[in-house]
Structure 1
Amino acid sequence: MSDVEVSVVLPAYNEEATIERTVEVTLETLASFLPADAFEVIVAEDGCDDRTPEIASRMASEDDRVRHIHSDERLGRGGALEYAFERAEGSTLVYFDTDLATDMKHLEELVESVRSGEYEVATGSRWMPENKAERPAKRAVSSLGYNTLVRLFLRSDLEDHQCGFKAISRETFDALRGEVEDEHWFWDTEVLVLAQRRGYRVKEFPVDWEPKGDTKVDLVRDVFGMGSQILRTWWQLSVSPRLSRRVSMAAGSVLVMLALVVAVGVVFDLEAVFDAMSGADSRWVVASGVVYLLSWPLRGLRYRDILDRLGYSGDTWFLTGAIFISQTGNLVFPARLGDGVRAYVVKARRDVPYPSGFASLAIERVFDLLAITVLAGTVLVGLVLTGGTDQIAQAIAAEVPPVTVGGETIDPGAAARTALQVAAVVGGAAVVAVTAILLSARRDSDYVHRAVTAVSNDSYADYVAGVIEQFVGDIEAVISDRSAFARVGVGSLVIWVVDVLTALVVFYAFGDAIRPALGGVITPALVATAFFAVSVGNLAKVLPLSPGGIGLYEGAFTLIVFGLTGIPAHVAFAISIVDHVVKNAVTIVGGLASMAWLNVSLTTAVEESREANEVEAAAATED
């Protein structure tokens, strides 16, 4: 049985210039208040590529009190500490930064606070009134802001969570390590927060501290890494425990139903619009829903082709269900948060990494925009050649008074011109984006890495750049492959043609109301108008201003239909509502059915998908 009571871990990454001196000072300080056989010093060398391993091994061979624990792969600071603590022999586990920024005169108080049994956790603090700490402005502002957020969101009573000078009992470490998720810079903060939440005694005491070397405060690491970890921990500790699966399913279903009610309630001339809607043939309205339903397996098939090109398999029906759920989420939550739901579903059920999951969504969006642009552009060329675009604006400006949509009064003529501008700008942006990706796919360049590291010199930026590069690379993998490009592109066109056919069936349901203006029901002019109206309406929905684009779609659709066909504005608006409600209703029913089939809670999926926004710290370097 070992006599070691105290294990001091020195997390080291590329510390060849200082590690020997740090170990010597640590041994000398420990020996001043502990018996010679009561402590050990462990160099937790985390995948170094300098002489640190060689130095640590030599010191371990020369002194039995020194141990060298090596990791071939980068574990991150938290990961390296856990790895070493698990292999340490002492009942009191200690660590501090190898730069010895904290005055070593405090080491005895740190160790004895836990070794004596008075506290389970002890930590030095640079923010207590009694201490002496030199803080460059960049460090001070960052540290003060970070600690304020931890106290505010995570209800911590401590002043300083980041000071690299801490001790914890073996029993407490064993009890908490399974709950700690971070593997890098947030690791010790998470330990402190969890220790307080679990009722362990935590001692915070002032230390004299002097920074050594240049500050390593970093934009990418600190903002994306630490900030996202605070939000993740807050969600897990304060929100998630209150969300049972039953509560989540109920809340998600209620929100979905409310979205449907909102969709029906968006009107500007309530009586006239309802009169027009009541005159529609319900049989053809139902038929339009059946037509629209046919597009969903096509969406699943297209998504399967995209994932297959990225190296991940998935059956069409499962992927169709995942799309149903994510699109339902987009109806419920603003800013297209439902897209994250699909990334979560394919990660949880098919092990598709988040970067690839979001890349597959981006690919789908690119092809959707291209397909819509092709359809709208074909009609737009004809309108430009025949003066039809001016006809839209002039007809609306001359015949329609100002319209209130979403509580805001707009000039219909100006709105018509805006709708056309949206189509042109968004469509053009889609083409430019795809062109850029296609060009990039054929070059061996490192634009992403250079852009990210331009604002950050920390190696954490390398990890962030790697995530972005994987995302862009996945998009390029599909777009740069001619066969995949053609297959997914044709599938996208067919999907949107079915979307237009759905609208045409809705038009047919309003046959009596539109016949006087058209001299018939489904005329060639109406078919062209439907393609343009549906395309522009969906381009307007690109703007994440409302759940499911409710209001945006109807406004653009109405302006186009009225301006090109002469169908009364209130009838055109009624058609747009029915068309959008039919499509949203099919989406909602399919989403609820898919949630039940795949046992997925919408709110839980949104919660879990936030993980995609956390830039994990495991691959970053030692501070």
Structure 2
Amino acid sequence: MSRAVEVSVVLPAYNEQATLAETVTITLDTLAEFLPEGAYEVIVAEDGCEDRTPEIADELAAEHEAVRHIHSDDRLGRGGALEYAFREAEGETLVYFDTDLATDMAHLEELVESVRTEGYDVATGSRWMPGNEADRPAKRGIPSLGYNKLVRLFLRSDLQDHQCGFKAFDRDALVTLLADVEDEHWFWDTELLVRAQRAGFRVREFPVNWTPRGDSKVDIVRDVFGMGSQILRTWWQLSVSPRITRKVSLGAGTLLVVVALALMTLYLDPSSVLDAIAGADPAIVVLSALVYLLSWPLRGVRYRNILSRLDHASDGWFLTGAIFISQTGNLVFPARAGDAVRAYVVKARRGIPYPTGFASLAIERVFDLLAITVLAGSVLIGLVATGGTDDLAAAIAADIGTVTIGGSAVDPAAAARTALQVAAGVGAAAILAVAVIVVNARREGNLVRRGVGALSSDSYADYVAGVIEQFVGDIQTVVGDRNSFLGVGGGSLLIWTLDVATALVVFAAFGVDVTLSLVAVAFFAVSVGNLAKVLPLSPGGIGLYEGAFTLIVVGLTAAPELTATTALAISIVDHAVKNVVTIVGGVVSMAWLNVSLTTAVERTSDVEAEADPQD
């Protein structure tokens, strides 16, 4: 019998054996009150159930011509099951509500007709609008109220209730919206409503009478936390990401640097900074450049080991030159354009495919992060073990002075020592975490997704698990071969050690005694400075590195000779030495390898397009 279905009602069902039959019967009876026979269908979207729900759904479909059962072997999540069922539905008006029938079914006609005949693209019931009756227990009502306020604040929604399981959609509107909706679980409703408003669709919200039935399947801790993270993800995608372009990043970065320099002149005399720089021992400054230069062949060897694990052999000196050129590109051009330059150079001169070039860069960055973590943890543990925390705690206390809390004096030095000991514990945990990641990367089975899934089951958790798996996967590429792993891991540690050693030599050039506590401070200053440079806000991170370096040095030392002026002068010289070595090496390498930096940067868009696996 052919039917002209106008309305498709989807009932998301997960372990609903106790209520499903009654729900379907009530739904069919209610639809029959205002729609002609054959104009509607009821779809049971059964989502990987563990009880008798699938059998009951089959029985209902066999008994009623208007009932269909759509089964999923795997758990798709609430949003995933709805989306799958909607794509299989026949009607032009698509409806869903929760199978517990918490919303009074007397509102069903109003919900359906809002879309079917009144021209709205989306209609949703609301438990928070005036004019409704809703029995909201505190354990549900308070989190719901707070959640909806956050959605209105961050996502600029005009609706009062985003999670009421009582909604209807125009098919064309829903298909358009689903192309951008990423969540597959409890946040699915919210994301649909927010994106519908942003896209200019007509959305109607009306009050409904609502009575809770049984226990909510929302995990107050796990799912609410997951939905909170989804609010941030959607806010970033809709409000922040579209505004971040290369032009905006460069402009903002330049403005930031200018403002920072302008403010700095209020507290520091530029001439005194220049005088401090002029007073540095030039011979020791040259020595710092030589120390930094030693790290570059190590970079080439490390990159060679990474490429060898990707089945592409090359020589270390060529790769050192390629890295020189790419880092020079990062200094000269904004938004880290040098990364694509390296992929271009190794492709043009050694035939290494672009995807391999970018994959090798990702692996290199992962090991840089691991090296920073291990060195930071080791420095903290070493400070505590050797008593070096005393000097550092005294330096911090000297800047803080006496602290009084609740009428009692607090010893800032003791508090600082305790904080450093706790930090050392965190450092030890970080080193252990690195060890676990490396060991896990050597296993065939990855435990990451299982561990993240224990905390949250929404799509954002799935995204986080994917990022971590990619991180572990990059390590896994290298750890399969012991020699390669030792080469890449050990090389990363040596490279970062030499980076810090360069800064320590610069400290010596300014007449500062190099003590154990200064070694720790220098490591943090250099590490934080380099992390600041990751943000593509200025070419080469100029200004960002100096600012971060100076703040760390001034904040963690109290040596009389290490004033803010001297610390800034040291940061400028340290960064300048490293940039000069990079540029000189880049110019020499470009001449040696016959590479035009301008041409390489112009090819950046082609490089990135060819590296895209979808192309």
User: Which TM-score bucket, shorter chain as reference?
Assistant: 0.5 to 0.7
CA 554–303 in structure 1, closer or farther in 2 if over 3 Å, else same: farther
Instruction: Kindly provide the amino acid, as one letter, of the partner of residue 554 in structure 1.
Output: V
**Does 1:368 find its partner at 2:375?**
yes
Q: Look up the match of 1:154.
A: 155
Shift of 1:104: 1.2
SS at structure 2 position matched to 1:195: helix
Which residue of structure 1 lines up, in the alignment, with residue 554 of structure 2?
555
The equivalences for 1:137-536 within 5 A come to 137-255=138-256, 261=261, 274-280=274-280, 285=285, 288=288, 292=292, 295=295, 298=298, 363-369=370-376, 372=379, 426=423, 429-435=426-432, 438=435, 486-503=486-503, 506=506, 514=511, 529=514, 533-536=518-521
Q: 1:5 to 1:439 in 2, by over 3 A?
A: closer
Aligned to 1:96: 97
The number of aligned residues is 542
How far 1:11 sits from its partner (Å)? 1.4
Asked if structure 1 preserves the Cα contact closer than 8 Å seen for 2:226 and 2:461, the reply is: no
Deviation at 1:149, TM superposition (A): 1.9
Q: What is the SS of the residue equivalent to 2:376?
A: helix
2: CA distance, partners of 1:451 / 1:180: 22
Q: Deviations over 1:372-396 (max 9, x none)?
A: 569x779x96xx7xxx9999999x9
Deviation at 1:161, TM superposition (A): 1.2
SS in 1 for 2:373: helix
- 1:496, 1:392 → 2: CA distance? 22
| Shift in CA distance, 574/264, structure 1 to aligned 2, threshold 3 Å | same
Q: CA 1:163 to 1:418, structure 2 compared with 1: closer, same or farther past 3 Å?
A: closer
Q: What SS does structure 1 have at the residue aligned with 2:129? A: coil
Structure 1 residues 177, 283: closer, same or farther in 2, change over 3 A?
A: farther
Q: Say whether the 8 Å CA contact 1:127–1:159 is kept in structure 2.
A: yes
The letter for the 2-side match of 1:88 is A
1:453-489 Cα distance to aligned partner (Å, 9 max, x none): 6xx7989999699679969977997899976764455
The one-letter amino acid of 2:370's match is I
1:537 has 2:522 as partner: yes
- Amino acid of the structure 1 residue aligned with 2:373: V
Amino acid at match of 2:524: L
Task: Let me know the Cα RMSD of the aligned residues.
Answer: 5.8
Partner AA of 1:582 in structure 2: A
Which ranges of structure 1 fall in alignment gaps of 5 or more residues? 332-345, 518-525, 601-623
Structure 2: how far apart are the matches of 1:459 and 1:570? Answer: 48
Range with bigger deviation, 107-116 or 491-500? 491-500
1:435 offset after TM fit, Å? Answer: 4.4
Cα distance in 2 between the residues matched to 1:311 and 1:263: 51
Code of the residue aligned with 1:97 in structure 2: it is D
**Cα contact 2:10–2:86 (8 A) shared by 1:** yes
Provide, for residues 576-623 of structure 1, a one-character-per-residue CA deviation record: whole Å limited to 9, x for no partner. Answer: 3344433685799899x99968969xxxxxxxxxxxxxxxxxxxxxxx
Find the aligned partners of 1:130 and 1:297 in 2 and give their Cα distance: 74
**Matched residue, 1:128:** 129
SS in 2 for 1:551: helix
Which TM-score applies when normalising by structure 1?
Answer: 0.67
For 1:33, the equivalent position in structure 2 comes to 34
| 1:29-57 Cα shifts (integer Å, max 9, x gaps) | 11222112110111112233333223223
Preserved CA contact (<8 Å) 1:273 1:570: no
Of the three residues 556, 561, 571, the one matched with 1:577 is: 571
CA gap of 1:196–1:210, structure 2 versus 1, over 3 A, is same
* Aligned-pair CA distance for 1:181: 2.7
**Shift in Å, 1:6:** 0.4
SS at match of 2:143: helix
**1:612 alignment counterpart:** none
Distance in 1, Cα, partners of 2:574 & 2:46: 60
Query: Alpha-carbon deviations, 1:478-516, whole Å to 9, x = none?
Result: 899976764455324421442255246646866xxx5xx
SS in structure 1 at match of 2:124: strand
Deviations 1:167-186 (A, max 9, x none): 11112213322232322222
The alpha-carbon deviation at position 218 of structure 1 amounts to 3.1
Q: Which amino acid aligns with 2:55?
A: E
2: CA distance, partners of 1:239 / 1:358? 25
For 1:570 and 1:244, the matched residues in 2 are separated by 34
Following TM superposition, by how much is the alpha carbon of 1:312 offset from its aligned partner in structure 2, in angstroms? 14
Decide whether aligned partners of structure 1 residues 390 and 91 sit closer, same or farther in structure 2, where only a CA change above 3 A counts: closer
Contact 1:373 1:535 in 2 (8 A): yes
Structure 1, 2-11 or 417-426: larger mean CA deviation: 417-426
Equivalents in 1 of 2:564, 2:195: separation in Å?
A: 59
- Tell me how far apart the structure 1 counterparts of residues 3 and 262 of structure 2 sit (CA, whole Å): 69
Deviations 1:49-81 (A, max 9, x none): 333223223322332211122233333222222
The equivalent of 2:407 in structure 1 is: none
- The CA distance in 2 between the partners of 1:556 and 1:446, in whole Å, is 40
Amino-acid identity (%): 48
Cα distance between partner residues in 2 of 1:330 and 1:233: 24
The question of whether the paired residues in 1 share the 8 Å contact of 2:115 and 2:170 is answered with yes
- Distance of 2:582 and 2:416 partners within structure 1: 27
Instruction: Work out the CA distance in 2 between the residues paired with 1:59 and 1:370.
Output: 62
The alpha-carbon distance between structure 1 residues 239 and 498, as it changes in their structure 2 partners (threshold 3 A), is closer
User: Residues 23 and 475 from structure 1, CA distance in 2 versus in 1: closer, same or farther, beyond 3 angstroms?
Assistant: same
What residue number does 1:607 align with? none
Deviation string 1:522-561 (CA, Å, 9 cap, x unpaired) is xxxx7xx37863443223677899965332443389767x
Structure with the larger RCO, 1 or 2 (CA within 8 Å, 6+ apart): 1
Counterparts in 2 of 1:348 and 1:262: CA distance versus 1, 3 Å:
farther
- Contact map agreement 1:360 1:474 (CA 8 A) in 2: no
1:132–1:208 CA contact under 8 A, matched in 2: yes
Give the letter for the 1:247 counterpart: V
Question: Is the 2:393–2:413 contact (alpha carbons within 8 Å) kept by the matching residues of 1?
Answer: yes
Q: Shift of the alpha carbon at 1:575?
A: 6.4
| Residues 1:192 and 1:247: Cα distance change in structure 2 (over 3 Å) | same
